[in-house]
Structure 1
Amino acid sequence: MAPWALLSPGVLVRTGHTVLTWGITLVLFLHDTELRQWEEQGELLLPLTFLLLVLGSLLLYLAVSLMDPGYVNVQPQPQEELKEEQTAMVPPAIPLRRCRYCLVLQPLRARHCRECRRCVRRYDHHCPWMENCVGERNHPLFVVYLALQLVVLLWGLYLAWSGLQFFQPWGLWLRSSGLLFTTFLLLSLFSLVASLLLASHLYLVASNTTTWEFISSHRIAYLRQRPGNPFDRGLTRNLAHFFCGWPSGSWETLWAEEEEEGSSPAV
Structure 2
Amino acid sequence: MFKSGCLVRTTHVVVTWLTTVVLFLHNTDLRKREEREELLQPVLFGAIVLMSVILYFTVSLMDPGYVLFDSDTQIAPVDSNAEELEQMITQCDSLPRQRRCGYCFVLQPMRAKHCKKCKKCVRRFDHHCPWLDNCVGEKNHKWFLLYLFVQLLALSWGLQAAWSGFTVTSTWRQWFVQNGLLFGALLVTGIFSFVVLLLLSSHLYLVAINTTTWEFMSFYRISYLKSFDSEKSPFDRGVICNLWKFFCMGGTVAWEKVYSRGTSCAV
TM-score norm. by structure 1 comes to 0.91
Provide the aligned length of Structure 1 versus Structure 2.
Answer: 256
Cα deviation, 1:72-114, whole Å, max 9, x if unaligned, reads 01x3424997636524056465111100000000000000000
Q: Is the 8 A contact 1:70 1:138 kept in 2?
A: yes
Amino acid at match of 2:19: I
CA contact (8 A) 1:121 1:135 kept: yes
Query: For residue 3 of structure 1, what is the aligned residue in structure 2?
Result: none
Residue 47 of structure 2 is aligned to residue 45 of structure 1: no
Identity of aligned residues (%): 50
**Unpaired stretches in structure 2, ≥5 consecutive residues:** 74-80
Alignment match, 1:30: 25
Per the alignment, residue 58 of structure 1 pairs with 53
**Matched residue type, 2:39:** L
User: Equivalent residue for 1:157?
Assistant: 159
| CA root-mean-square deviation | 2.0
Deviation at 1:153, TM superposition (A): 0.4
Structure number having the greater helix percentage? 1
What letter matches 1:153 in structure 2? L
Question: Are positions 1:136 and 2:128 aligned together?
Answer: no
* Closer, same or farther: CA 173–226 of 1 in aligned 2, 3 Å: same
Q: Distance in 1 between matches of 2:92 and 2:55?
A: 36
2:78 corresponds to? none
* Cα distance between partner residues in 2 of 1:150 and 1:84: 39
The range that moved more, 135-144 or 76-85, is 76-85
SS in 1 for 2:234: coil
Residue 252 of structure 1: which of 243, 249, 256 is its match? 256
- Which amino acid in 2 is paired with 1:114? K
Counting only pairs closer than 5 Å after superposition, residues 226-245 of structure 1 correspond to structure 2 as 226-227=228-229, 228-245=232-249
Matches within 5 A, 1:40-189: 40-73=35-68, 75-78=69-72, 83=85, 86-89=88-91, 91=93, 94-189=96-191
Unaligned runs of 5+ in 1: 1-5
Q: Against the structure 1 CA distance between its residues 143 and 63, is the aligned structure 2 distance closer, same or farther, given a 3 Å change threshold?
A: same
Contact 1:94–1:221 under 8 Å retained in 2: yes
User: CA deviation digits over 1:23-82, x for unaligned, max 9?
Assistant: 000000000001000000000010000000000011000000000000001x34249976
Mapped to 2, the partners of 1:102 and 1:176 lie a distance apart of 56
Read off the aligned partner of 2:171 and give its amino acid letter.
P
What TM-score comes out, normalization by structure 2 length?
A: 0.91
Contact 1:89 / 1:253 at 8 angstroms: preserved in 2? no
